[in-house]
Structure 1
Amino acid sequence: MSLGSLKRTTVAFEQHRFFRAGLKGLAFSLLISTAYMLPAPQAAAQQYTFNTVRIDGNQRIGDSAILSQAGIARGQAVSAGELNDAFQKLNNSGLFESVSITPQGNTLKITVVELPTINRISFEGNRRIKDDALESVIDSTARRVFNPAQAEKDANSIAQAYSSDGRLSARVQPKVIKRSQNRVDLVFEVFEGDNVEIERLSFVGNRKFSDRRLRRVLGTKQAGIFRRLVRRDTFVEDRVEFDKQVLRDFYFSRGYVDMRVNSVNAELTEERDGYFVGFNVQEGQQFKFGEITVTSELNNVDGDVYSGFVKVKPGVVYSPTLVEADIARLERQAIRDGVDFMRVEPRVTRNDRDLTLDVEFVLSRGPRIFVERIDIEGNTTTLDRVVRHQFDSVEGDPFNPREIRQSAERIRALGFFETAEVNAREGSSPEQVVIDVDVEEKPTGSLNFGGSFSSSDGLGVAISFAEENFIGRGQKLFLNLSTASDARRYGFRFVEPSLLGRDVSFGLELDYSEENSSFSTYDSNRLRFRPTLTFPVSENGRLQLRYTAEQTEVTAREDETDDGSDFHGTIIQGDIDAGSLISSSIGYEYSYDTRRTGLDPNAGVLFRFSQDFAGIGGDQEYIRTVAKLVGEKKIFNEEVTLRATLEGGALAWRGGTNRSVDRFLLSSSQLRGFEPGGIGPRDGNATEGDSLGGNLYVVGRLEAEFPLGLPEEYGIRGGVFYDVGNLWDLSDVNLNGGTALGESGSFRHVIGVSIFWDTPVGPLQFNISDAIRKEEFDREQKFEITLQTQF
């Protein structure tokens, strides 16, 4: 046999031997598997029956309560598994520190160690967040069972509260102090740590607006010199998310429709005590409105007629807010015309070549859905009618989703609620909807203590009480008391914003003031009573009707000249001799303001015109006319604000005594560079030369505000101004044989610079001025400082 044949025979033999062995193994495996699959004789489960249950260690919790919690009754047959379930129930009840269950013959012994009750909860080491605020974030309460797991959760909740306040390194440790009768004091030891401030707030990708301008938009602020007082310079993640949205809104309202916030990077400093926050933005191009058209898909509505109600014009910088305003304007006009269920759909066509957006307002028929009812919940103080007044729709009116969204914004703007959610759901049929209003009340009253200082009135204090939602009716009540070294004022004001459920505001003012200014040689006091009615007459215009009753008196001061003679002039002495006089007048005031609602967010106009007609009773008869025009514009990417103001007044007397306190006197806020009453006709026969005021005045002001290049966190800006004004005319004035200087008047010219400082205690303003044209008898005031705050 060859070597190859021998090898083949050996291999075949080995294969045969392994095959037989495999068959034997397979047979054995099948035998074992079959044995396991055969039903085994059922073992009897261990059963326990207890005639007696003994419970040890419980002091507060009764035996029956423990048995009920365990699910075991005396004399009941239970298995070992059921005993284990009873153990788990007691152990997980949160009432016991330890539990043991031991069968002893016919007796079941349950031994428990009760968790202690919380005697009181206290906080140690907290200075930034008060105890009341911390108690609101924890679930553990006094006189309840102490739960270690819950105490740990509460410690984490407190640490999270500090983290939201910018103190990311805050640590909280819960500790217990044992007391008698199985009670403990729960103490949260707080290590607050330092604020993790935003050391630098920067932007990447911005070309049109500087970092300084964009930082003013954000709610988050960069840490500055007043970091101990400013709380918005800490890093809070939720606030950063809000800042991303307001940043987008800022760009969208200025025509940058492609603007994106790509990312926000927040990096800790090496010392882990500050953040570098950077916004990566993509501005895109600025778009303007292109062709504006109105198309009607309704047979009874002419689109050309409705195009006259569209205010936005081609060439204006595009803004979604302007589009929304025109849609609301068209829908309101449809309601006036009796066209129900009309909807306005804006169709925007993009023209990348000329960077314009064509807007087509399509008038179409919306679904026939009606408002079934309006349900208001959560208003524990505010009356339902106050909330309902914010809706233009009532039960039974056609449903307009846009109007509901605007109503929700008006409810939030009231300032009465922490949260206000307005949602619509299907009513009793598919053709009806129910509007749900869910609000959460917040305090609306405030008591303020404040201080002020100005070079004209001196140092003063102010106390005021304000209630924005008086007895839940949406009414406003104000009481104030302010005292300065040269002036005192006490006031009461009441406002009903919706008289008889209409868009008419009723106001009532009662004021009493005393002035003993160092800029005059006499004192005066004034009592005024004024009810008003104010209502809108156009989108930006409002009209106020008013009645005014005033009682004014000029009194002599005790001051004397060096030789002991009275230093009042003969003209002022005539005012003093006139005693107390009463004027009774009716009047109106029309105001038109586009600074916030105009087509250009960087420009606006304010116009105000008022007249008062005295002579309805009282001691005086005159017509008082005042007009004011203000134009404002932001330039250089909104870094510089330009403002121009023109105002004037005329007083035409028809009868009664014409006194200095009744005529116009220019204050330093109207014409800078002079004392209050520092220009105009003056008593030429007096030692001090009191200002006599005038029946006519005109003032013009040009001013600019701009950054000084200082770090923005300092809050310091600069300004320059040029003022020109004149005060003249003493017609119908009894001079009592005296002489008046400057009765014919002349224009004064003033130039100056301003420093504006936004301090945490209030806005501080410095004015340094120089009168480049004046009269010899004028009284200059080259430096003026004003600070006002509330605390």
Structure 2
Amino acid sequence: MGAPAFAQDVGSPTAQAPTYQPPTRIRNIQVIGNQRVEANTVASYLLFAPGDPYSEDRIDLSLKTLYATGLFADVIIDPRDGNVLIQVIENPIINRVIFEGNKSLKTDKINDEITAEPRSLFTRAQVQEDVQRIIELYRQSGRFGATVEPKVIEQPQNRVDLIFEISEGPVTGIKRINFIGNSEFSDRKLRKEIVTAESIWWKLFSSNDNYDPGRLEFDREQLRTFYTDRGFADFRVVSAVAELTPDQEDFYVTFTLDEGGEYRWGDISVETELEALNKDFLERLVNIQEGEVFNSSQIESAIDNLNFAAGTSGYAFVDIQQDLRLDRDSKTVDLVFNVVEGPRVYIERIDIVGNTTTLDYVIRREMELVEGDAFNRILLDRSRNRVRALRFFEEVEIEETQGSSPDRAVVEVSVKEQPTGELSFSAGFSSADAFLVDLSITQRNLRGRGQLMRFVIRASSNRREIDLRFTEPRFLGRNLAGSVELFDVIIDFLDEAGFRSTRTGGQVSLAFPLTQNTNLSGRYSLRSESIEFPQENQCDQVLQSSLDNTLTAQNTQLLSLCQQVGGRLSSILGYTFAWDRRNDPITPTGGFDFRFSQDVAGVGGDVRYLRTDVRGNYYKGLFPGVIASAALSGGYIRGWGGDPVQVNDRYFKGNFEFRGFDNAGIGPRVINYVADSGSTLIPTGTSGGVDGRRQALGGNLFGLAAAEVSFPVGVPQLLGSIFIEAGTVGLLDEDFQYNIVIDPGTSGLTAGASCEGVTTASVICQRTIDTLDPRVTAGASIFWESPFGPIRFDFTQPIVKQPFDDRQSFQFTTRTRF
């Protein structure tokens, strides 16, 4: 900045005091040097205008304001006796951003971290900040020797090409992790508890074997949690130091620990003056026993229980203060929870951010709080789960900040959209279904309104399906979900049960909540059903022979299918009651869910039955990443009005519903028995004869139980589990049970349930086996989120089985989307 110098003669003793002169006024403003920025834009940043008195302070502030815009590399303001000349040199525009030498990091990843981009302003300060960001990015990937040199190539029209020349340097690994001061746990054990890992040649895909200061801080907390969960209440990490090796290629990481001693819980109590809360009841919720080994995680669990109890008793605002008292002489920890009512805070505003597709009201209607309501953490947590349950968002976070006053809060719901529309083609192979083809067009958030539209074409070796569904989650503007579905399904059980069924029709349903955790849905289905099988051209003769009482043994086995062949209309009215108390709708680690369904066929149509199904699941987190679950399910169907249950309405279980057995692998079936050389009846096939497993018949009742523990296996994208399952299928209608003898020399039909009297090797006794004997299997599963799609492997071993069951000791499924 240039400014006129005002001189005053102070050397002469006869100098007179200056007479008052009015300040010089600014007469005119002229801008020169600008190329892209308009002169009026420059003038808009000035703190003076023509006609204003001249002021050094305003000139100086205007200069700083122009620099702060970032538009100019240099600015000179020359007042020139009231004719102000403003000379500017504009910052160049970045034409291109180029990276050279980056091999381990993709250009897109670096671009995401820096601010420089084409058509943005070039400033040297901003470039230096970007250089530091790139270096930090390389350090996080384990390359501490990386250097970045920015270069600028000037182009016409005040543009520049910005080039970052990168020298990545070698990967800086972790040569050794040492622990000092540990006596209770070995170095090897402690290394397993932290995230940072030593560099080993065979850990090709690990990213934790390089030095990261942020990861080291996380490891300190991991060690503290590990020790305090095992009784060491005064444990502390004295220091965590990383030293670079002389060759600058690796780090030595050293944790210095002060383990302290092992403590046990002493006196545990809860203090409160809130009238609606019973002190004894609260102490029972704490679930910490005196004399047990101290475990810090139990404190957080106890606080959650106390918060929940206070919330259910009407106290939305409670402050739970914990008072830990360590007695180093007796090695005990006394704990007192003080439950006091906190200050009341009200919600001033709810802001929704991050939703680029989903409309605001779709999110707001899942919130259990609105503006003006009293702040309630429990209701906010429930709201987050409800928003997550929409499955529209990859991330959902709810944070609160102080509003316009201390008793006002602003709630911000931050979401990150994930794709909800999908056009996919999946193909794969399953050891159970042989092949799988899946073509679907799905939009789970149609027009951002939360509506579902799905069109599916699905095929496997024993199922082909076309399905079109539309769901409006707020039908008629109410908390009522309405759905319409059209379908055409072919179920092929020719190999397992000797028949194929076709279902074509539609369904309408309505669902609404009963309470916070329960809902009820009703539905009506109308469908045309048919059954066919390879020998159905013989049915006219078989049915006539049955009427004439001339049925042969060979045709008896066709009679039950012939009686069901052809088309019929099913009119079905049903409902489902659901109770969901899981702590997370996507990856639960606690709680349970329960479903009870009933369907009545016979409200018109040709089929009459009552079907009842129940299913429940229980989840319990054992350790971080380790989740135990138990499942119980069962169903019973019975005809009414004199109608038996047709084969296509029965339960066929196996495959992934009951791991360890093939499709329709358990349940009632027809077995062939023959006499061996010693006149002992054995199933055919057990001594080298024909296959002893005849057609599966399905059952009117089933029950399944399973227990499973899933856990990480230490490799990214891999999850393992061990499980045990038990189940049974049976109670076939008597109309479809028979025991016959097939003798090539006669057409006799007499035989008891045990096929007594069959002693000739050429004679076959067909027997219907229908028992509720349980089956039990145990096994392990591996889940792999591979680059080609999810793959699941199941390995099973029978514990209890029947000789005529159709077993399957290994099965896998994979699908690839492209």
Give the TM-score normalised by the residue count of structure 2: 0.65
Q: Label 1:373 to 1:456 Cα distance change in 2 as closer, same or farther (>3 A).
A: same
- Determine helix, strand or coil for the equivalent of 1:672: coil
Q: Which amino acid aligns with 1:458?
A: A
Question: Which residue identity lines up with residue 566 of structure 2 in the other structure?
Answer: A
1:433 maps to a residue whose letter is: R
Residues 203 and 757 of structure 1: CA distance in aligned 2, closer, same or farther (over 3 Å): farther
Q: Following the alignment from structure 1 to structure 2, what is the Cα–Cα distance between the partners of residues 90 and 640?
A: 59
**Letter aligned with residue 681 of structure 1:** P
Contact 1:57 1:113 in 2 (8 A): yes
Aligned residue number for residue 24 of structure 1: none
Which one-letter code corresponds to 2:795 in the other structure? N
Corresponding residue number in structure 2 for 1:422: 399
Q: Please state how far the C-alpha of 1:781 moved relative to its aligned partner.
A: 2.1
**Aligned residue runs from structure 1 range 717-736, under 5 A:** 719=722, 721=724, 723=726, 725-731=728-734, 733=736
- Please, which of 157, 172, 181 is the counterpart of residue 133 of structure 2? 157
- Count, aligned residues: 711
1:433 deviates by 1.9
Tell whether 2:282 aligns with 1:296. Answer: no
Partners of 1:149 and 1:532 lie apart in 2 by: 61
Matches within 5 A, 1:96-111: none
* In the alignment, structure 1 residue 782 sits paired with structure 2 residue 809: yes
Match of 1:549 in 2: 525
Deviations 1:202-236 (A, max 9, x none): 988596999889969969999897855x7677665
The aligned counterpart of 1:620 is 607
Q: Secondary structure at the match of 1:437?
A: strand
Deviation at 1:640, TM superposition (A): 8.8
Q: 1:584 aligns with which of 561, 572, 579?
A: 572
1:323 equivalenced with 2:298 (yes/no): no
Distance (whole Å) between structure 1 residues aligned to residue 658 and residue 396 of structure 2: 45
Does structure 2 conserve the Cα–Cα contact (< 8 Å) formed by 1:213 and 1:639?
A: no
Paired with 1:211 and 1:201, the residues of 2 have a C-alpha distance of: 10
Task: Verify: 1:652 aligned to 2:638, yes or no.
Answer: yes
Deviates more, 1:678-687 or 1:577-586: 678-687
Aligned-partner Cα distance in 2 for 1:249–1:530: 52
Residue 662 (structure 1) aligned to one of 649, 672, 693: 649
Shift of 1:620: 2.5
Task: Supply the distance in 2 between the matched residues of 1:212 and 1:514 (Cα, whole angstroms).
Answer: 55
- Over 3 Å counting, the alpha-carbon distance change for 1:390 and 1:184 in structure 2 is same
- Which residue of structure 2 lines up, in the alignment, with residue 671 of structure 1? 658
Find the aligned partners of 2:425 and 2:193 in 1 and give their Cα distance: 28
Match of 2:511 in 1: 533
Q: Quick one: which amino acid aligns to residue 812 of structure 2?
A: I
Q: Say whether the 8 Å CA contact 2:269–2:283 is kept in structure 1.
A: no
Instruction: Decide whether the 8 Å contact of 2:488 with 2:502 is kept in 1.
Output: yes
Change in Cα spacing, 1:454 to 1:441, as seen in structure 2 (3 Å) is closer
CA distance in 1, matches of 2:412, 2:149: 41
Q: 1:679 offset after TM fit, Å? A: 2.2
Change (3 A) 1:536 1:214: farther
Separation in structure 1 between the aligned mates of residue 266 and residue 428 of structure 2, nearest angstrom: 47
- Deviation at 1:675? 1.3
Could you tell me which amino acid in structure 1 is paired with residue 797 of structure 2?
A: S
Contact 1:224 1:714 in 2 (8 A): no
Question: Contact 1:613–1:623 at 8 Å: present in 2 too?
Answer: yes
Say if 2:670 and 2:768, in contact at 8 Å, map to a contact too. Answer: no
Alignment CA distance shift 1:680-1:111 (3 Å):
closer
Distance 1:284 1:501 in 2: 62
Which residue in 1 is equivalent to 2:701?
Answer: 696
Measured after TM superposition, the shift of residue 764 of structure 1 is 3.3
Whichever residue aligns with residue 695 of structure 2, its letter is D
* Partner amino acid, structure 2, of 1:585: L
Give 1:374's aligned residue. 349
- Cα separation, 1, equivalents of 2:338 and 2:401: 25
Counterpart of 2:773 in structure 1 is 747
Structure 1 pair 96/531, CA: closer, same or farther in 2 (3 Å)?
Answer: closer
Determine if contact 2:451/2:471 at 8 Å carries over to the other structure.
yes
Matched residues in 2 for 1:469 and 1:631: separation?
Answer: 30
3-state SS in 1 of match to 2:696: coil
Shift of 1:455: 0.9
Letter in 1 for 2:511: L
Q: Secondary structure at the match of 2:521?
A: strand
Deviations 1:285-308 (A, max 9, x none): 58679666574355xx5747x948
Closer, same or farther in 2 for the Cα pair 1:209/1:497, shift >3 Å?
farther
Q: Distance in 2 between matches of 1:342 and 1:67?
A: 54
- Do residues 765 (structure 1) and 807 (structure 2) align? no
Counterpart CA distance in 1 for 2:372 and 2:77 is 67
Name the SS of the counterpart of 1:140 in structure 2: coil
One-letter code aligned to 1:694 = G
Q: CA deviation at 1:767?
A: 0.9
Give the counterpart letter for 1:677 in structure 2: A
Check conservation: 2:347, 2:375, Cα contact below 8 A. Answer: no
CA drift of 1:694 comes to 0.8
Percent of matched pairs sharing the same residue = 26
Residue 26 of structure 1 corresponds to which residue in structure 2? none
| Partners of 2:738 and 2:767 within 8 A in 1 | no
Any idea what SS the aligned residue of 1:756 has?
A: strand
Is this contact kept in 2: 1:292–1:314, CA < 8 A? no
Q: Residues 118 and 489 from structure 1, CA distance in 2 versus in 1: closer, same or farther, beyond 3 angstroms? A: same
Q: Distance in 1 between matches of 2:474 and 2:718?
A: 39
**Whole-angstrom distance in 1 between the partners of 2:42 and 2:120:** 17
8 Å Cα contact 1:203/1:211 also seen in 2: no
Q: Deviations over 1:502-535 (max 9, x none)?
A: 9877777666544446844544444563635364
Give the secondary-structure state (helix, strand or coil) at the position aligned to 1:615: strand
Q: Is the 8 A contact 1:126 1:191 kept in 2?
A: yes
Q: Which structure: larger Rg?
A: 1
Matched, 1:437 2:412: yes
Q: Distance in 1 between matches of 2:326 and 2:471?
A: 50
Task: Please tell me whether residue 574 in structure 1 is matched to residue 562 in structure 2.
Answer: yes
Q: Is the 8 A contact 1:748 1:771 kept in 2?
A: no
Cα distance per residue 1:337-371 (max 9 Å; x no partner) = xxx88746456575866967665564x5654x463
Residue by residue, what CA displacement relative to the aligned partner does 1:667-693 show, whole Å, maximum 9, x if unpaired? 223433321112222356999833221
Instruction: Give the one of 114, 138, 145 matched to 2:114.
Output: 138
* Correspondence 1:299-378 to 2 at 5 A: 301=276, 303=278, 307=281, 311-313=285-287, 315=289, 319-335=298-314, 343=318, 345=320, 362=339, 366-367=342-343, 369=344, 371=346, 373-376=348-351, 378=353
Distance 1:640 1:86 in 2: 63
1:374 partner letter: R
Mark the CA change 1:731 to 1:295 in structure 2 (over 3 Å): closer, same or farther: farther
Question: Is the CA contact (8 Å cut-off) linking 2:195 and 2:208 kept in structure 1?
Answer: no
1:689 is paired with a residue of what secondary structure? Answer: strand
* 1:379-418 superposed matches below 5 A: 381=356, 382-386=358-362, 388-389=364-365, 392-399=368-375, 416=393
- Between the aligned partners of 2:194 and 2:467, the Cα distance in structure 1 is 36
C-alpha spacing 1:500/1:427, structure 2 compared with 1 (3 Å) = farther
Query: Structure 1 residues 88 and 759 mapped into 2: Cα distance closer, same or farther (>3 Å)?
Result: closer
Correspondence for 2:19: none
Structure 1 residues 156 and 93: CA distance shift in structure 2, 3 A: same
1:457-472 matched pairs, under 5 angstroms: 457-462=433-438, 471-472=447-448
SS in 2 for 1:661: helix
